[in-house]
Chain A
Amino acid sequence: QLQLQESGPGLVKPSETLSLTCTVSGGSISSSSYYWGWIRQPPGKGLEWIGSIYYSGSTYYNPSLKSRVTISVDTSKNQFSLKLSSVTAADTAVYYCARHRIVGATSLDYWGQGTLVTVSS
């Protein structure tokens, strides 16, 4: 059974960089059928896709966040990571990682449990 698990600091100071890692178990991140994505959800609000990465390193990002986002992949560790720079209180959210299926039907079909990141001094 595929599992995804987010990890990283739960508290980040304003203007600093938020860094999270998603560890994939029960399957290979190097599969040709999937991208791997990050999605966030501010408290009490809706879902926002941040960006996705292929095992080769190919990425695409939400234009509204593109200037501050970097997603990378480490196939040797079966992990992918998110960096969001110059954070403000508006970046406080639950951050989810997910498998981004691209063959058959493009969808986010497996999700991590999510991790709350609070931006505060």
Chain B
Amino acid sequence: DIQMTQSPSSLSASVGDRVTITCQASQDISNYLNWYQQKPGKAPKLLIYDASNLETGVPSRFSGSGSGTDFTFTISSLQPEDIATYYCQQYDNLLTFGPGTKVDIK
């Protein structure tokens, strides 16, 4: 099984700050990684697919990078509506989600 870890587990940042979340896979998954945003009480929403591709309609302040085992998700300028939990998810072997990173406003 492929295990996913994320750090930090939570963070607080100010509006306009650059926010970075890391995700690590327990083995090489190439670029088979997606990022999702989940707001409280809502279903997750796909933001980034194949590690770095922005899903249609997603604001350009969101970005992703990485390959192999180490991945990064960035919000270039945090907005109030970005308060959510962010999950990475691998699909190299079945589907596995990371534990999530909760982002809130300082």
Interface residues of A (CB under 8 A from B): 37, 46-49, 52, 60, 62-63, 96, 98, 105-109, 111-114
Interchain CB contact under 8 A, A105 and B94: no
Q: A46-B97, A49-B97 are in contact. List 20 more A-B contacts (CB 8 A).
A: A47-B36, A47-B44, A47-B97, A47-B100, A49-B94, A52-B95, A60-B94, A62-B94, A98-B43, A105-B50, A105-B53, A106-B49, A106-B91, A107-B46, A107-B89, A108-B46, A111-B44, A112-B43, A113-B43, A114-B43
> Interface size bucket, B side?
20 to 34
Residues of B contacting A114 with CB < 8 Å?
43
Interchain CB contact under 8 A, B87 and A46: yes
A23 vs chain B, min Cβ distance (A):
15
A66 vs chain B, min Cβ distance (A):
10
Interchain CB contact under 8 A, A47 and B43: no
Of A47, A48, A49, A107, the contact of B49 (CB 8 Å cutoff): A107
CA distance A108 to B34 in the complex (A): 9
CA distance A37 to B71 in the complex (A): 25
In the complex, which residues 77-106 of chain B have their Cβ closer than 8 Å to any Cβ of chain A? 87, 89, 91, 94-100
CA distance A109 to B55 in the complex (A): 9
Q: Does B45 contact A (CB under 8 A)?
A: yes
Interchain CB contact under 8 A, A49 and B96: yes
